[in-house]
Chains A and B, each alone.
Chain A
Amino acid sequence: QQQVKQSPQSLIVQKGGISIINCAYENTAFDYFPWYQQFPGKGPALLIAIRPDVSEKKEGRFTISFNKSAKQFSLHIMDSQPGDSATYFCAASRSLYGGATNKLIFGTGTLLAVQP
């Protein structure tokens, strides 16, 4: 119930193509779904996040699509660039009352390589 399943494990995309990474979750109490981007030698950094009250969120070339009934969400990178080459992690958590600490459950990661 606590797992977040991520696929594919690795992905090679040509420059200008669309990169798609998928995640699935089981716990229906999850209500926050971020994506983190990690470059080699760096820690992960928040890229984009969505809540289940919307089905899509777009920030520049990055879009999250959310399917509540299927308990799935995905990251789409349009016009992929070599600079997007990184490891991407999806995650999920549920809001807690009283300002208590949220624990993010991370997926296993996707290594994206965008070829020039």
Chain B
Amino acid sequence: DVKVTQSSRYLVKRTGEKVFLECVQDMDHENMFWYRQDPGLGLRLIYFSYDVKMKEKGDIPEGYSVSREKKERFSLILESASTNQTSMYLCASSLRGRLGEKLFFGSGTQLSVL
């Protein structure tokens, strides 16, 4: 059974803290994605990676960075957390190419920044 695992289900951090959200997939997928989900705004792409050490900005990259040192792991970093980054964060992975259109999502990390 395919699996995308996010390290924390709930996380509470303080304004200004550096926050790491971790995601691991066991499907040998080339592509990995970070989305944030907010009520009324749907899923918005923050960053994605199509290979180890490669990354591309999504639609809302400001305030975030990512790291992909190994194929199975994709980390989202909030350099200095702010209250407007309180959100549900979803990691996803997919195969490269036409078959890669199906995204497999993790269960999400609900981040609260106080």
Instruction: Please classify the interface of chain A as helix (H, G, I), strand (E, B), loop, or mixed, using the class held by over half of its residues.
Output: loop
Task: Give Cα distance in the complex from A108 to B43, angstroms.
Answer: 7
A61 in contact (CB, < 8 A) = no
Let me know if A43 and B96 touch, CB within 8 A.
no
Chain A residues bordering chain B, tally (CB within 8 A): 26
A36 to B94, CA, bound (A): 14
What is the size, in residues, of chain B's interface with A at 8 Å between Cβ atoms?
28
CA distance A32 to B97 in the complex (A): 13
Shortest A101–chain B CB gap in Å is 4
Interface pick from A13-21, A44-52, A63-71, A76-84? A44-52
- Whether the pair B92, A100 counts as a contact (CB closer than 8 A) is no
From B66-74, B77-85, B104-112, the one touching the partner chain is: B104-112
Q: Given the known A-B contacts A43-B4, A44-B90, A103-B48, are A93 and B101 also in contact in the complex, defined by CB atoms under 8 Å?
A: yes
Residues of A whose CB lies within 8 Å of any CB of B are 2, 6, 9, 32, 34, 36, 41-46, 49, 89, 93, 95, 99-104, 106-109
If A43-B106, A44-B103, A106-B43 are given as contacts, then 16 extra A-B residue pairs at C-beta distance below 8 Å, sorted by A number, are A2-B59, A6-B42, A32-B101, A34-B102, A36-B103, A43-B90, A44-B90, A49-B101, A93-B101, A95-B98, A99-B98, A101-B100, A102-B94, A102-B100, A106-B42, A109-B40
Considering the complex of A and B, which 8 residue pairs feature the smallest CB-CB distances, nearest first?
A43-B105, A99-B97, A108-B42, A106-B43, A101-B50, A106-B42, A99-B96, A109-B42
